[in-house]
C-alpha cells in the first residue's frame, strides 16, 4: 500500500512541474540604407509560464566589421501590464541591464544595447527570458555596420600625410 502512495505522489509531482519553453527564431536582416541592416521580430510564448526565446539575426554583410546594435519599436501586447514579465536578456552573450518586470525591455526606443565597438563576426543572437501570462512581444532589430578599412586605404592615408609633411617642411624652409 505504501508503494502505491509513493507512486501516486511521484506522478502528481511530475505532472505539476512547469517546463520552460525554449523557442528559436531566425530573422534575416535586410540592408535598408548604406550600412544599416534591419529586421522585425515577434514572439508569443506558448505554453504559459517560463520561456526562453532566442532570435538569430543574420545580415548578408562583411564579417570583421565593427557594429552598433539597436532594438527599436518594441511593444508588448496582452490583457494587462503583467501579461509578460522579462527576467533577463543578452545580445551575443553580453547581458542587457535594465531588464525585468512588465516593461518594454526597460529601454527607450533606439537605445544602444551593445558596446559601440562590438566586433561583428557572425550572426547576432538575442536571448530573452521571462514568464508569460498570455501576452506577446516584438520589435525591430537594427544593426549599423562600419566596414573595416582595407590596407590600401591605410596606404593612401599615410601617403597623403607624407605629402602634407613634405609640403609643410618645404614651406618652413623658404
What contacts 125, CB < 8 A, 6 or more positions away?
Answer: 54, 55, 56, 57, 91, 92, 93
The residue among 158, 133, 142 whose CA lies nearest residue 33 is: 142
Q: 20-166, what's its fold?
A: Jelly Rolls (2.60.120)
In three-state secondary structure terms, 172 is helix
Predicted confidence (pLDDT) per residue in 75-111, tens digit: 565 555 567 777 777 777 877 655 544 444 444 344 4
Ordered by start, the domain boundaries in the chain are 20-166
Predicted confidence (pLDDT) per residue in 97-155, tens digit: 555 444 444 443 444 444 444 566 778 888 888 888 887 877 777 777 766 666 777 78
Say if pTM beats, i.e. exceeds, 0.75. no
Amino acid at each position: 500500500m505504501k508503494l502505491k502512495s509513493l507512486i501516486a505522489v511521484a506522478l502528481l509531482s511530475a505532472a505539476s512541474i512547469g517546463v520552460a519553453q525554449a523557442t528559436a527564431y531566425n530573422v534575416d536582416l535586410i540592408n535598408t540604407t548604406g550600412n544599416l541592416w534591419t529586421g522585425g521580430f515577434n514572439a508569443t510564448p506558448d505554453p504559459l509560464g517560463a520561456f526562453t526565446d532566442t532570435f538569430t539575426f543574420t545580415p548578408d554583410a562583411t564579417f570583421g566589421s565593427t557594429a552598433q546594435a539597436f532594438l527599436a519599436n518594441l511593444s508588448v501586447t496582452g490583457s494587462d501590464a503583467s501579461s509578460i514579465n522579462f527576467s533577463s536578456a543578452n545580445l551575443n552573450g553580453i547581458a542587457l541591464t535594465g531588464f525585468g518586470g512588465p516593461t518594454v525591455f526597460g529601454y527607450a526606443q533606439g537605445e544602444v544595447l551593445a558596446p559601440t565597438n562590438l566586433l561583428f563576426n557572425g550572426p547576432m543572437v538575442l536571448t530573452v527570458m521571462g514568464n508569460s501570462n498570455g501576452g506577446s512581444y516584438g520589435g525591430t532589430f537594427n544593426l549599423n555596420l562600419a566596414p573595416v578599412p582595407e590596407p590600401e586605404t591605410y596606404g593612401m592615408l599615410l601617403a597623403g600625410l607624407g605629402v602634407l609633411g613634405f609640403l609643410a617642411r618645404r614651406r618652413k624652409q623658404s
